Amino acid sequence: MYRLFYVSSARPDMQSIDIDTLVNAASMKNPSLGITGALGYDGKRFAQILEGAKEDVLALMDVIRSDNRHSGIVVMDEKSVEGRVYDGWGLKQLDGLIFEHFESAMAEA
Ligand SMILES: Cc1cc2nc3c(=O)[nH]c(=O)nc-3n(C[C@H](O)[C@H](O)[C@H](O)COP(=O)(O)O)c2cc1C
């Protein structure tokens, strides 16, 4: 099991409705990829955690990197882990960007 945390800058014309659309689509797709995770958005930036088999997380990350709805993607942390923090979630939508949330999720085994 692998867990990856990145931050990025949202394209300036993104609206909250666009974020809802993005999260809905990802929530449907992630379970079929064996991926769980969470996405935060504060109106300017995204922060996301993806969990799953390492090759699946990295393959999805390649797709997400080339998405023009954001730029300046910086991987903050990535590591092998024992279990999932977001079990049962395709993509959990978080209100705002609370770094402690992402950091404590990354600290889980
Ligand atoms: C900030 C951000 C987070 C994303 N997160 C996911 C995700 O968790 N899962 C996913 O499948 N696509 C995610 N996407 C969308 C992908 O970049 C891509 O558009 C989508 O996977 C394409 O799906 P499709 O091939 O079914 O059209 C994200 C895009 C952005 C901008």
C-alpha distances (whole Å) from 38 to each of 19, 90 are 13, 8
Q: What is the pLDDT of residues 15-63, one digit of tens each?
A: 989 999 999 999 999 999 999 999 999 999 999 999 999 999 999 999 9
Domain boundaries, the chain: 2-107
Q: What is the pLDDT of residues 56-100, one digit of tens each?
A: 999 999 999 999 999 999 999 999 999 999 999 999 999 889 999
Protein residue closest via CA to atom 13 of ligand 1: 26
- Out of 11, 16, 22, mutate this one to test ligand 1's pocket (max ligand atoms within 8 Å of CB): namely 22
pTM over 0.85: yes
Under 8 Å between Cβ of 24 and 90: no
Which CATH number describes the domain made up of 2-107? 3.30.70.100
